[in-house]
Structure 1
Amino acid sequence: MTLRFKDNIRSYARVYKYMDTNYDTIFALKRAKAELTPTELKRFEREFNLMKTLDSPYILKVYSYNNKKNEFKMEYVKYSLKDYISKNNPQLNINKRKSLCWQLFRAFEYIHSKSIFHRDLSLGNVLVKVHDDDTCIIKVCDFGYFKEKESTLTRQDTLFAGSLNDPALRLLGFDKYNVQHEIYALTQVIFYIMTGKKNIEKINQASIKSFLEFGMNSDLLNRAKTLQELKDKFSITNWES
């Protein structure tokens, strides 16, 4: 087994890719850092245990956990969403972009159907698996900060996670995270897929601006309250304007 460091995508773990000669297949290996506290190690293993129970084409697969090395084997996917879009942005047509977005909606419909929130959605925590026939499949990963919807175990001082999260959570408390906060982050990811842009401040197209305001409105009364509402808004947005 040959290891090669791939990416430090989380503060408490590193991800490597390696060729497993038994299967003649490349896998990814997520290994906890040596300096983790017992609480952090418990969270790391909890992430694996959750992902092991999830069964969706849009969720990254995990295979086995090594308690001695504090690591687990995962499906290998070459591209993060950020890397895939930045590399292919000029030639991506609107239908391909929409296909990726619909897959992302399916992924989060499934996640929420399991009564959990991801809470750490970012352009690096969504992967794109590209097949030989150019079929692209979204893969959501990194569930280290997931929360069960009805859980009261998250402390109010829990570390604020997620580069795309609603900044209001810093005052409200990360323990108050709900579906509208997941929608806030998801809106930005969809915008990036559809436009290849990260800066939402300089958007002049009225239809796209309306979509962003609906998904990210600072007033929760005016923000989409369900994934279905955001999907409906997405479907009527003029992304070609």
Structure 2
Amino acid sequence: MDFLQQYNGSKIPDSTQRLNVFALRKSQIFKLDKSLSTKQFDDSKKRDLQLIGVGSYATVFKFHNRDTGEWLALKRANEDLSEEEKERFAGEFDFLNKIQSQFVISVYLYEEVVPQYTMEYMPYTLKDFMEHNNNRLDFQTRKNMVAQFLRGLQDIHEQDNALHRDLSPTNILVKPQVNGAISVKISDFGLIKIPDSTLTKTRTSKKGVYAALDPLLSSYREYSRENEIFSAGQIINYLFTGKQRLVTNTQIGEVVTRATSSKSEDRYPSAKVLWEAVKVCGEA
């Protein structure tokens, strides 16, 4: 069974385990580093923008598309960025526009004047989703979510040999579907590394949440596929347990232990091989 076959049809099993979307709606997608007006009006596009996140690199809004009735997100580069950082911002859009993965956040239109771009709106981070719904998820649903995450990671790695470098529960987004299925997509490519690309030249002193814990990563400039597998193992543990602490006394725990091993030769060589290991695990 491949990635797609495994994740299709993922549903919450019965009404007693319905997702806690009420609590999630009260949660912010991103932690705000500074206070801004919660609403702005974009005169050029006649969009009412609702602030959902601010970081050192960009500001994110959501808005209602009056033509289609759907919600979209708008990522706007912060005004204090250098020219090199603005080029990197545009490069992130180019990468996401090129990858066209079902399991990576979609982007639509780049607007150079600001600069900013519109993208798919996913209402919850994996962190918020798990905090409110961990006890409601059965084993198969968790497995389906892992399948989507690892397929997205494989798609990233196969596109120009790219590395995300900042996999974390706040950079993976979740959207419950009306049929009970749960859509999972990877987002936030601010630290992406592409060999022989200018996208790699800035912000190399920063570390991802899990990458910073990797015993095999002595320098962030040396970040490689084996370090990405370490972060992926941490995400898998979180999806199956809802805990940051590694749980090792299960079949899934054995997979996570190997993915996060302090020995390079023990780690899985790819997201696809990692999924093959997860796929055969039973609930016991």
Tell whether 2:74 aligns with 1:74: no
Q: Is the 8 A contact 2:85 2:202 kept in 1?
A: no
2:98 partner letter? T
* Amino acid in structure 2 at the alignment position of 1:119: R
Contact 1:126 1:140 in 2 (8 A): yes
Q: In structure 2, the residue corresponding to 1:172 is in which secondary structure?
A: coil
Structure with more contact order per residue of length (Cα contacts < 8 Å, sep ≥ 6): 2
Q: Indicate the structure with greater strand content.
A: 1
TM-score (norm 1): 0.89
1:18 partnered with 2:63: yes
Give, in angstroms, the shift of residue 20 of structure 1. Answer: 2.3
Match of 2:152 among 107, 122, 128: 107
State the AA in 1 paired with 2:180. D
Deviates more, 1:43-52 or 1:229-238: 229-238
> What is the CA deviation profile of residues 105-145 of structure 1, one whole-angstrom value per residue up to 9, with x for unaligned ones?
11112111112111111111111121111211111111222
CA positional deviation for 1:65: 1.1
Q: What do the CA deviations read for 1:208-229 (whole angstroms, capped 9, x no partner)? A: 4422320111221222233243
Native 8 Å contact 1:126 1:139 kept in 2: yes
Cα distance in 1 for residues equivalent to 2:181 and 2:172: 16
Q: Which residue of 2 aligns with 1:213?
A: 257
Partner of 1:224: 268
Aligned to 1:194: 240
Which segment is superposed worse, 218-227 or 51-60? Answer: 218-227
**Percent of residue pairs bearing the same amino acid type:** 29
Bigger drift between 19-28 and 164-173 goes to 164-173
Structure 1: 5+ residue stretches without partners: none
Q: TM-score, normalised by structure 2?
A: 0.76
Matched letter for residue 117 of structure 1 = L
The 3-state SS of whatever aligns with 2:259 is: helix
Q: 1:152 to 1:68 in 2, by over 3 A?
A: closer
Alpha-carbon contact 2:151-2:272 (below 8 Å) kept: no
| Shift in alpha-carbon separation, 1:3–1:171, aligned structure 2, 3 A | same
AA of the residue aligned to 2:50:
R
Task: Classify 1:171/1:110 alpha carbon distance in 2 versus 1 (closer, same or farther; 3 Å).
Answer: closer
Report the equivalent of 1:98. Answer: 143
Structure 2: 5+ residue runs without aligned partners?
1-46
1:53 and 2:90 matched = no
Give 1:85's aligned residue. Answer: 130
Structure 2 vs 1, CA of residues 170 and 46 (structure 1 numbering), >3 Å: closer, same or farther?
A: farther
Distance in structure 2 (CA, Å) of the matches to 1:63 and 1:102? 25
Structure 2 residue aligned with 1:142: 188
Partners of 1:136 and 1:105 lie apart in 2 by 15
Q: Distance in 2 between matches of 1:40 and 1:110?
A: 25
8 Å CA contact retained: 2:73, 2:118: yes
Deviation at 1:196, TM superposition (A): 0.9
Which has the higher mean CA deviation after the structures are superposed, 203-212 or 152-161?
A: 152-161
In structure 2, the residue corresponding to 1:117 is in which secondary structure?
Answer: coil
Q: Distance in 2 between matches of 1:215 and 1:42?
A: 34
Q: Contact 1:160–1:170 at 8 Å: present in 2 too? A: no
Separation in 2 of the partners of 1:193 and 1:142? Answer: 19
CA contact (8 A) 2:58 2:77 kept: yes
Equivalenced residues, count: 236
Question: How large is the RMSD of aligned CA atoms in angstroms?
Answer: 2.2
What code does the residue aligned with 2:183 have? I
Q: Which sits farther off after the overlay, 136-145 or 218-227?
A: 218-227
- Whole-angstrom CA distance in 2 between matches of 1:157 and 1:66: 23
Of 25, 39, 48, 2:84 maps to 39
Change (3 A) 1:36 1:137: same
Spell out, residue by residue over 1:159-186, the C-alpha distance to the aligned partner (whole angstroms, 9 max, x if none): 2231111545896322222111110111
Q: Read off the aligned partner of 2:121 and give its amino acid letter.
A: Y
The one-letter amino acid paired with 2:65 is D
